[in-house]
């Protein structure tokens, strides 16, 4: 979706490099984008753990979006250092490769689990966020700005609850971790749009947070399988009942852009007052917190069904 959107919006782009360690996905992508038409599209096999390969891939690149991560919460609890090597050391490799090249704009993708983390995955992403935002302090005279985009569950992403429920409803049983659980929801296109907006508008060091709706896990179960039984299985290790994107402690450094927020670095070139004056924004009230449980915007059962049909499965139906 990101590559398609970039190619559609910037048809004269000279070079777009897809850097990943998944050769199958790169092959499948090459079948979707005819090389004879998209002459600037390139595929590099590589891993963010390999700093030399990163530097080679960044030759002639001026803009970078960092989306590489290990992200499954239970797997992180069982394999902590593997997540550290990709999500933290890999992030630092990206930062250093950008500083050593001609890259000018960098956006790193984060997660709501990085706010007040209680699991290893969230802790690694918080460290990654700090690495990217703090890198602006050592940019020197380089023309480079590094920022972060943080959002909630991407609808339909691998391992997320909606495709899991869609699969499990065939068995007639939907496992509910906790009846009180809520989650943020963002579509893939909304996430892509925010990244592109941040690339054009970031001053460096911000963590951009979109204003997006929440849903109740019980409403999702009703939307997907109203005739299914609901089995309460308890929360998994490292899970929260409600996800957070801005904590009360963050509020003293957070400004309101209207459709989204920006958390400013606690140490750096901007103060909240100077940033607000320069960008025409306002600070949020002291103590403000943004979490999926107290979010004023919730998706209804019908909203969820509409989103599933629109973004995941146009043939999706439920019994009368």
| Whether the predicted pLDDT of 65 surpasses 90 | yes
Whether the per-residue pLDDT at 239 is higher than 90: the answer is no
pTM of the model: 0.93
Residue 280 lies in a domain: yes
The residue annotated as part of the active site, out of 14, 71, 113, 240, is: 113
Q: What's the pLDDT score for residue 35?
A: 81
Lowest mean pLDDT among 49-63, 203-217, 233-247: 233-247
Question: Over the chain, what is the mean pLDDT?
Answer: 93
Residue 96 lies in a domain: yes
* Max Cα–Cα distance, the chain, nearest Å: 64
Report whether pLDDT(90) > 70: yes
Q: Is 113 a catalytic residue?
A: yes
In a domain? residue 5:
no
Name the token pair of 4: 């398609």
Question: Are 281 and 263 within 8 A, CB to CB?
Answer: no
Nearest to 69 by CA among 2, 120, 134, 31: 120
Q: Please report the pLDDT score of residue 319 as a whole number.
A: 64
CATH number of 100's domain: 3.40.50.720
Q: With a cut of 90, say whether residue 238 has pLDDT above it.
A: no
Question: Has residue 220 been placed in a domain?
Answer: yes
Q: Is residue 266 part of a domain?
A: yes
Token pair, residue 87, equals: 């999500």
Judged against a pLDDT cut of 50, whether residue 320 lies above it is answered with no
**What's the rounded Cα separation, in Å, for the pair 169 and 173?**
6
Percent of the chain with pLDDT over 70: 98
Domain that holds residue 186: 46-311
Residue the block writes with tokens 């499954």: 72
User: What are the tens digits of pLDDT across the range 296-319?
Assistant: 999 999 999 999 999 989 999 886
Q: Let me know if residue 247 belongs to a domain.
A: yes
- Who has greater pLDDT, 270 or 172? 172
Asked whether residue 28 is domain-assigned, the answer is no
Average pLDDT for 61-85: 94
In a domain, 33, yes or no: no
The answer to whether 18 touches 26, Cβ cutoff 8 Å, is: yes
> What is the chain written as a DSSP string?
-HHHHHHHH-TT-S-EEEEES-HHHHHHHHHHS-TTT-TTEEEEE--TT-HHHHHHHTTT--EEEE------HHHHHHSHHHHHIIIIIHHHHHHHHHHTTT--EEEEE--GGGSS--SHHHHHHHHHHHHHHHGGGG-TT---EEEEE---EETT-TT-HHHHHHHHGGGTEEEES-TT-EEEEE-HHHHHHHHHHHHHH--SS-EEEE---EEEHHHHHHHH-TTSEEEE--PPTT--SS-EEE-TTGGGGEEE-SSEEEEPPSSSS--HHHHHHHHT-EEPPTT--EETTT-S-B--HHHHHHHHHHHT-TT-----
Domain count, the chain: 1
Q: Tell me the torsion sign for CA atoms 116, 82, 194, 159.
A: negative
pLDDT band at 160 (very low <50, low <70, confident <90, very high): confident
* Selection from 294, 300, 291, 304 nearest residue 261 by Cα: 291
């Amino acid at each position: 979706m990101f590559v398609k959107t970039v190619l559609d919006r910037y048809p004269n782009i000279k070079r777009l490099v897809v850097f990943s360690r998944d050769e199958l996905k790169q092959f499948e992508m090459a079948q979707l984008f005819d090389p004879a038409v998209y002459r600037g599209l390139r595929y590099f096999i590589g891993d963010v753990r390999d700093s030399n390969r990163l530097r080679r891939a960044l030759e002639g690149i001026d803009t970078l979006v960092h989306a590489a991560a290990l992200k499954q919460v239970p797997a992180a609890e069982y394999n902590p250092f593997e997540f550290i090597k990709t999500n933290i050391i890999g992030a630092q490799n990206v930062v250093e490769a950008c500083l050593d090249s001609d890259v000018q704009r960098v956006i790193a993708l984060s997660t709501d689990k990085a706010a007040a983390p209680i699991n290893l995955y969230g802790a690694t992403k918080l460290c990654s966020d700090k690495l990217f935002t703090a890198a602006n302090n050592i940019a020197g005279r380089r023309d480079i700005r590094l920022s972060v985009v943080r959002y909630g569950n991407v609808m339909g992403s691998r391992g997320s609850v909606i495709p899991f429920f869609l699969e499990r409803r065939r068995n007639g049983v939907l496992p509910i971790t906790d009846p009180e659980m809520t989650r943020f929801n963002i579509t893939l296109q909304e996430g892509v749009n925010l990244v592109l907006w941040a690339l054009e508008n970031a001053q460096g060091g911000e963590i951009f947070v979109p204003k997006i709706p929440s849903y109740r896990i019980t409403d999702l179960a009703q939307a997907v399988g109203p005739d299914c039984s609901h089995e309460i299985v308890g929360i998994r290790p490292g899970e929260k009942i409600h996800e957070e994107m801005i904590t009360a402690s963050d509020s003293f450094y957070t400004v309101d852009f209207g459709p989204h927020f920006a958390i400013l670095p606690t140490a750096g070139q901007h103060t909240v007052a100077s940033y607000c004056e320069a960008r025409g924004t306002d600070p949020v009230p002291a103590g403000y917190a943004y979490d999926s449980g107290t979010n004023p915007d919730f998706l209804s059962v019908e909203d969820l069904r509409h989103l599933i049909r629109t973004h995941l499965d146009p043939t999706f139906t439920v019994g009368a």
